[in-house]
Every structure is written in structure tokens, then in C-alpha cells.
Structure 1
Amino acid sequence: MRLDPIDIVPYDPAWETAYADERDRVTTALAGWLTGPVEHIGSTSVPGLPAKPIIDMLARVPKWDPALTWPLADALAAIGWVHAPEPTDDAQRKWSFCFPDARWRTHHLHVVGEDWNWRPLLAFRDHLRTHPADAAEYARIKTELAATDRHDRPAYRAGKAPFIESILTRLSAEGETRTIKLE
């Protein structure tokens, strides 16, 4: 299966509404499992930041347990989401879901256990929201990577990683987050 291309587009204020609409539906569908709010993460959650037009979301459950895969998948399928496992999901102890489908998704939901290293995702998001120079540099890096090969997601992710880790290391040194590495 060939995934949608990596296209970085200008920030769209409608992304916040698109997130809120699905957040409410996902919150209702997963109400029996959630341990916190469904968060808007990734570049679409940072006002003004160019991004792939895919709303990344994070939901937390008490702990990762493979036995939860199908109950979670069934609950989300009832509202139109599809289970779209990524190659690293089991190793990273998380689940991936897409809406409306995996090939041309508008939303990507990461469901993780509280024991997963999720705090850096929020710390990075919050940092970019309050540090425009870092957000601009991140936009430059992402745009450059996407221009190199629109279909090489592993290279795109790997190319962003050093910048993300440098910000998380800085935040850790400043005492703003307990963990410095994304999983």
C-alpha cells in the first residue's frame, strides 16, 4: 500500500476545528479506557506552523496490552476510524488508527498506555507554540525533507529527529520535561 505523499502546506486555522470534532467523537468512543484528554499533537497543533495536513492526536489508556487491540479497534471502527498498525507499533507499545482510511487520512490517532513515553510529545508541541524561531526552523527542516522525497516517510522522520531531540534535550536541561527522547 502506498501512503499519501508528504506535502507540507501552510498552516490552516481549520485544523483546530477538525481536531476538536474528532477529539469529541474519539473521547466518547474510548470513554471507558481513557486516562486523560485526547490531545492535539504534531505540527497541525502549532498555530502558524506549516505541516502535512494530517491531524495527529494522542489518547492514553492505563497500560499497553495486546488484548486491547481489538476492543479499541472495534470502538473506533464504530465511528469510522480504521486500525492502521505501523511497523513499530508493537515494539513501541502503541496502537495507530486513521480516519477516514489509512491511504488518504485526515487524522492519525496514537493510542498509548500511561507507561509509554508520551510527555515529550506535549513538551515539544508546547515549546514550538511559544518559541517562533524554533517553529520556523522546524518548518524549514520539514519542508526541505519533504522536497527531497515525498514518499519516504522513514527518511522524513529520521531527518526531523535530530532537531526534535535537540529541543527535548534543551527542555530537559531546563527542567521542563522528565524525558528527553521520543520513542
Structure 2
Amino acid sequence: MRKSLSDMTIQELWELFPIQLTEHKEYWNDWYQEEQEFLSSFLPKKVRIYHIGSTSIRGIRAKPIIDLLAEASLGDHQTIKELLLKNGYICMASSKNRMDFNKGYTPDGFAERVFHLHLRDFGDHDELYFRDYLNEHPEIAKEYEKLKLSLWKPFEHDRDGYTEQKTDFVRKYTQRAKKQYGKGKYK
């Protein structure tokens, strides 16, 4: 009898869902648009939804997982959580000000389309600065790709380690972006 995802250990999940990096695909933006339209069909109208993560950065390899940032007032987070759970998302992490959801994970591995949705309060959106900076600076985007490729195999079954190893790079260029764009860019 096969275990359900909720019964698997983190190690079992990382084995079933290893880090995979693929060439950039133009259709990732279409997948984002379609999911954004789906989410907008049932989420409160005030929610802002953005495409973030490496699939939103032109021309670099990425995990074929569409990252979405949903900004909403903290008072709406519980309602949004319930709506997401009713519409195919699984809550993976929850804290006072943030919730993370996944869609497209099955006991057999990844579905064709996989999404990570990061629910945040308005203004908690550093990923937008990083995304736009790398899209405007393709040479920095290629440095990021090179870093990710160097981490891929050593951390193939350790998502936390993979993410941790990228933190300094992401922080450095997010700060540069904030300096360049100003803090009010995404209001």
C-alpha cells in the first residue's frame, strides 16, 4: 500500500520530488496566466497575484514549478487558506504573517503543472524586486543560473539546503534592486 503525501517523511518527499532544473520554457508564463485567472475566479478581488521565482526570469534554467505571490491583508488569510484548500492546494507551511501552498504534487511524483503559492501581507514582496532586477540585468540572471546549476546535484534531495545556499546571492541583488527602484515601486 502506497503512503499518502501527508504520511511521508521530509526525506521521502525530497526523494519523490527532487530538484530538477530545465531550460527556460516560454509556456511557463502561460501557465502562470492560466493559474492567475483560476485563482482570481474565487479569491477576494483585493488579492494581488504575481509570477515570481526563476520561471519568471527570462532565459535561465529553473525548476519547472510556477511560483506565485499572493498579497492580501492578514485578516483575509484564513479565508483565503480555506478557499485554496477547496481548490486543489495543500498548505505546506503557516506562520503568523505567511502561508505557503503547493499544487501538483501526487503520490506518484510531480503532475504536469506544479505551483507554489506564497500568501503574504501587502508589501511583503521582496521577490518582485529580485525578479525585475534579474530580468533587467541578464548577466546577473546568468550568474544566478550558474549558482543554481552548481547546487543542483549536491542538493538534489535537500530543498532547504538548496534554498539556503542561494540566500546570500538573492539578498544581495534584492537590496540592489530596492536601492535602484525605491521601496514604493510595487504599491
Higher strand share: 2
Instruction: Tell me by how many angstroms 1:32 deviates.
Output: 4.5
Q: Percent of pairs identical after alignment?
A: 28
Distance (whole Å) between structure 2 residues aligned to residue 129 and residue 172 of structure 1 = 14
Aligned to 2:183: 178
* Counterpart among 55, 61, 66 of residue 44 in structure 1: 55
The unaligned stretches of length 5 or more in structure 2 are 1-7
- Which digits, 9 at most, give the CA deviation of each residue in 1:64-111, with x for residues without a partner? x5x843x323312333222222xxx416x2111111337636110011
Aligned to 1:97: 101
Aligned to 1:141: 147
Show the 5 A alignment for 1:81-92: 81-85=89-93, 89-90=94-95
Aligned to 1:151: 157
The unaligned stretches of length 5 or more in structure 1 are none
- Which digits, 9 at most, give the CA deviation of each residue in 1:34-54, with x for residues without a partner? 1x3x10000000121110000
- Aligned letter for 1:56? D
- Which digits, 9 at most, give the CA deviation of each residue in 1:120-152, with x for residues without a partner? 210110011111110000001011111212011
Aligned to 1:117: 124
The runs of at least 4 aligned residues of structure 1 exceeding 4 Å deviation read none
**Which is worse superposed, 3-12 or 94-103?**
94-103
* Counterpart among 42, 54, 64 of residue 53 in structure 1: 64
TM-score (norm 2): 0.80
Q: 1:73 touches 1:82 (CA, 8 Å); kept in 2?
A: no
Instruction: Tell me by how many angstroms 1:168 deviates.
Output: 2.1
Paired positions, count: 167
Instruction: Tell me by how many angstroms 1:33 deviates.
Output: 5.0
Q: 2:99 touches 2:118 (CA, 8 Å); kept in 1?
A: yes
Aligned to 1:131: 137
Distance (whole Å) between structure 2 residues aligned to residue 5 and residue 49 of structure 1 = 19
Distance (whole Å) between structure 2 residues aligned to residue 101 and residue 18 of structure 1 = 16
TM-score (norm 1): 0.82
Measured on the aligned residues, the alpha-carbon RMSD in Å equals 2.1
Structure 2 residue 35 is matched with structure 1 residue 30:
no
Structure 2 residue 73 is matched with structure 1 residue 62:
yes
